[in-house]
Structure 1
Amino acid sequence: MIRNEHPQGTDNVLMDLGFDDAEELTAKAALALKLNTLIDQRGLSQTEAAAITGMTQPKVSQVRRYKLQNISLERLMQALVSLDQQVKIVVQPARRAHGPGILVAV
């Protein structure tokens, strides 16, 4: 049996798929996941979440469906702050094993 060679993947599937903005999309997805979790935990409707976060209901709907192309990282962070979360941005030298990039830890 002949074994096909498969390229080594990374831990970022969006990067493996060739998205130019894979790091930003991954960061947005992590923030949206936390935002959606908070909305679910509090039992908020999209209209209620919009009123609290200052987003429009259609934007909240986009976040709920992870349609994040038209929503900035800053907007997602502001929404989390409005839901009583502390958002930290840490800048430090890249480790050799991971290299430079964006990481969101929630």
Structure 2
Amino acid sequence: MSRKNNRQGTENVLLDLGFDDAEELSAKAALALKLNELIDQRDLTQTEAAHITGMTQPKVSQVRRYKLQNISLERLMQALVSLDQHVEIVVRPARRECAPRITVAA
């Protein structure tokens, strides 16, 4: 996770801060946000959430604190599915006026 100097602001604050993996981190953060919302809505303990999602309690704790370095996008998506969510991935050509990127809407 090295940083680059980037002068012009974008829609991605992590990219603006110079993180090489900014798009992946943003996607993970969006999925973790939704996962945390569902855990809160269902009033689940970390242990209960771990049991339902198949994660360990320490991994759930990492998600709760948005410490996402050691958690894959796939694992976050699987956890959402285990909480009765539909996860959809859409791939389409990038438009010329918009650079290719990864976005997550949760």
Per the normalisation by structure 2, the TM-score is: 0.92
RMSD: 0.7
Q: For residues 81 and 75 of structure 1, what CA distance do their matches in structure 2 show? A: 10
Q: For residue 58 of structure 1, what is the aligned residue in structure 2?
A: 58
Matched, 1:73 2:73: yes
Q: Which runs of 4+ in 1 moved over 2 A?
A: none
Per the normalisation by structure 1, the TM-score is: 0.92
Given residue 74 of structure 1, which amino acid in structure 2 is its aligned partner? Answer: E
Unaligned stretches of 5+ in structure 1?
1-6
Which residues in structure 2 correspond to 1:9-48 (within 5 Å)?
Answer: 9-48=9-48
Q: For residues 25 and 97 of structure 1, what CA distance do their matches in structure 2 show? A: 23
Whether contact under 8 Å (2:8, 2:16) holds in the other structure is: no
- The percentage of counterpart residues that share the same residue type is 83
Displacement of 1:97: 3.0
Given residue 40 of structure 1, which amino acid in structure 2 is its aligned partner? Answer: D
Given residue 26 of structure 1, which amino acid in structure 2 is its aligned partner? Answer: S
Unaligned stretches of 5+ in structure 2?
1-6
Displacement of 1:99: 1.4
Q: For residues 15 and 97 of structure 2, what CA distance do their matches in structure 1 show? A: 17
Any idea what SS the aligned residue of 2:91 has?
A: coil
Q: For residues 57 and 88 of structure 1, what CA distance do their matches in structure 2 show? A: 26
Q: For residues 95 and 105 of structure 1, what CA distance do their matches in structure 2 show? A: 19
Q: For residue 83 of structure 1, what is the aligned residue in structure 2?
A: 83
Any idea what SS the aligned residue of 1:88 has?
A: coil
Bigger Cα Rg = 1
